[in-house]
Amino acid sequence: MSTLTKFLMIGALIAVSACTNAGRFGKGDGYGSGSGASGAIVPGSANDPSSTAYFNQTIGDRVHFLIDQSSLTPEAQQILNGQADWLSRNGDYVAVIEGHADEQGTREYNLALGARRANAAREYLISRGVAPNRLKTVSYGKERPIEICSNEACYAKNRRAVTVLAAGLTS
């Protein structure tokens, strides 16, 4: 999808004031929520398979890891299969895979562990056909938790590798 096409789609979205799922604009974006009454695919929304909202929500932009592990669970592999397929269909996107750890670990070690996790996801996507030059990694260690409680329910969500899409340089 060219940048121009995306621009036009967003324009159309605004023009029709369509209802969308909370999508790529996040919560409270002023576009309302709920599915379109007709069931039609709203461009850019989470039910538009070429949208980043679809990637983030329907396919899943993140995989989770066991304590102190960087190997991919079968569930994580399934999500990454979907990510790889999406990236193959949408060749003008690149991605940065962010690796994260829970707070139970020392700072330097968690940086290295986050890098291991991000790299595990990257290697898997490459094995599924995504070009290596479309995938970068960065580790945040324990610096950017999304859940802030100090028990396993939160830790499990913080031990993650998140595939963050960006409009590609190749488009």
Partner 1 sequence: MKRYMLSLLIGASLFFTNVSSQVAAQNGPLRIEITDGVIEPLPFAVPDFVPASGEAAQVGRDIARVIASDLTGTGLFRELPSSAYISQVRDFVAPVQYADWKAINAQALITGSVSVSGGQVTVQFRVYDVFSDAELGNGLQFSGSASGWRRMAHKVADAVYARITGEGGYFDSRVVFVSESGPKDNRLKRLAIMDYDGANVQYLTDSASIVLAPRFSPSGDRVLYTSYESGSPRIYVLDIGQVQRRVLQQQEGTMSFAPRFAPNGKTVVFSIEKGGNTDIYAMDIASGQTSQLTNAPSIETAPSFSPDGSQIVFESDRSGGQQIYIMPAGGGEARRISFGQGRYGTPVWSPRGDMIAFTKQNQGRFYIGVMRTDGSEERLLTASFLDEGPTWAPNGRVIMFARETQGAQGRSSLYSVDITGRNLKPVPTPDGASDPDWSPLQN
Find the shortest distance in angstroms from Cβ 141 to partner 1: 8
Closer to partner 1 by CB, 36 or 105: give it.
Answer: 105
**Residue the block writes with tokens 């039910």:** 47
Residues between 23 and 42 that touch partner 1 (CB under 8 A):
none
Residue 147 as a binder of partner 1 (CB under 8 A): the answer is: yes
Q: Is the Cβ of residue 16 or residue 138 nearer to partner 1 in the bound state? A: 138
Closer to partner 1 by CB, 7 or 109: give it. 109
97 CB burial (10 A radius; 0-12, 13-18, 19+): buried
Among residues 127, 143, 166, 170, which is the contact residue for partner 1, using CB under 8 A?
143
Build a one-symbol-per-residue string for 56-85: x at contacts with partner 1 by CB under 8 A, - elsewhere: ------------x-x---------------
Which residue stretch of 55-63, 72-80, 82-90, 98-106 sits at the interface with partner 1 (rule: CB under 8 A)?
98-106
Site string for partner 1, 103-142 (x = CB under 8 A): xxxxxxx-xxx-xx-xxx-xx------------xxxxx--
Structure token digits, residue 167: 């409009």
